[in-house]
Each structure stands twice: as C-alpha cells, then as structure tokens.
C-alpha cells in the first residue's frame, strides 16, 4: 500500500510523512525532492525559469511513476499536485490518500518566513494562501480517502490519528503500528 499525503504548502506533508513512514517501518518519498533530483536545481529556480505549466508537466510524470512503484511507501506530494485531473485520479486509484487540512491562517503562521515557496513570494502571502485554499480544498477532498485536520496537534498525534483511520478502514492490521514511537 502507498499512503499519499496531500494538502496545502506548509500543511506538514513532509514532516508528518517522515514520521508516519518511520512508525510504519516503510520507505518515505517526497515528490518535490524527486523532482528536484530530476531537474538538478530547486523547484523555485525551475519555476522562475520555465514557468508553472512546465513544472506541472514534470510533476505529473513523476507522480505517475511514484504511484506505480510497489507498496510500502509514504508519499508526500507537492501542494499543487491535485491541480491536474490525472494526478488526482492516479493518487485516488493507486494510493490511500490522506488530506492534511490546514487553514490558510495556520499555514501562514508556519511558513511566513520560508523563502523557498515560489507561490508565496507575493506582496500578500496570506491572501495568496486563502486564494489557493479556495481553489484547492475541493480538489484535495475529491482526491482523499481520509481528511485529517492538522490544527494544533503535535506531529506524533497526527501520525496516531492517521494510523487509527487506516486501521479502522482495514488498511492496517490492528496493532501493526506502535502508538508510542515516533
């Protein structure tokens, strides 16, 4: 089984994904890191040089590959991965998708000083996050099998919540994960 995490930039997909993979004793893949390896530069540099459409083409190709690669993986996706219907379809059909839902205000609090997020390098990043959320939230919900509100819980609490959801849905054997280790 591939567990894919979707959500807004800064919602915790990479951080929670790493901890979830460790808890489940499976591999972890961050699609943005795979894309940067393919590019040989940062996503931000590529975005500035080639534009969003070229980036989305590459992202779609990488996600298609990653969602076909076996099982036993936690996959963290880019915040805009759900913008393309093909990505939503591949994620939904090939993975158990968890939407880490965070409000624009929560995300702004977490990422306001991060200069490596190309879509937030604007005059009003909070408004940009609100605009992105309005477009993307329905797409995340369409793609996800489970929605986890990130709010204020710790990373270990979020990982426990995800494991419990997967166990209740029959995707993890009961007791197959240690509730106390992260």
**12 annotated ligand binder:** yes
- Asked if residue 50 belongs to a known ligand binding site, the reply is no
Is 115 one of the annotated binding-site residues? no
- Give the neighbor-by-neighbor strand order of the sheet with 2-6: 27-30, 73-76, 2-6, 96-101, 146-149
117 annotated to a ligand binding site: yes
Q: Is the Cβ–Cβ distance between 82 and 4 less than 8 Å?
A: no
What three-state secondary structure class fits 79? coil
Task: Calculate the alpha carbon distances from 146 to 52, 93, 101, 138, 167 in Å.
Answer: 28, 14, 10, 13, 12
Is 32 one of the annotated binding-site residues? Answer: yes
Contacts of residue 70, Cβ cutoff 8 Å, sequence gap at least 6: 2
Which residues neighbour 181 within 8 Å (Cβ) at sequence distance 6 or greater? 22, 23
94 is in an annotated binding site: no
10 is in an annotated binding site: yes
Say whether 79 counts as a known binding-site residue: yes
Is 179 marked within a binding site?
A: no
13 known member of a binding site: yes
Q: From the annotation, which residues make up the binding site for Mg(2+)?
A: 14
Question: Which residues are known binding-site members for substrate?
Answer: 32, 56, 79, 136
Binding-site residues, please?
Answer: 10-15, 32, 56, 79, 117, 136
Cite the annotated binding site for ATP by residue number. Answer: 10-15, 117
């Amino acid at each position: 089984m591939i567990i894919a995490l979707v959500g807004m930039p800064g919602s915790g997909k990479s951080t929670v994904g790493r901890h979830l993979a460790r808890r489940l004793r499976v591999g972890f893949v961050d699609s943005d890191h795979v894309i940067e390896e393919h590019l040989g530069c940062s996503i931000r540099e590529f975005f500035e040089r080639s534009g969003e459409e070229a980036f989305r083409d590459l992202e779609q190709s990488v996600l298609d590959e990653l969602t076909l690669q076996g099982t036993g993986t936690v996959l963290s996706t880019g915040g805009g991965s759900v913008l393309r219907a093909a990505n939503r379809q591949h994620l939904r059909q090939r993975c158990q998708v968890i939407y880490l839902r965070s409000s624009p205000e929560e995300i702004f609090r977490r990422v306001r000083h991060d200069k490596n997020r190309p879509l937030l390098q604007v005059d009003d990043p909070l408004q940009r996050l609100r605009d992105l959320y309005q477009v993307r939230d329905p797409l995340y919900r369409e793609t996800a099998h489970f929605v986890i509100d990130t709010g204020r819980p710790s990373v270990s609490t979020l990982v426990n919540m995800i494991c419990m959801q997967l166990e209740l849905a029959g995707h993890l054997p009961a007791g197959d994960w240690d509730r106390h280790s992260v």
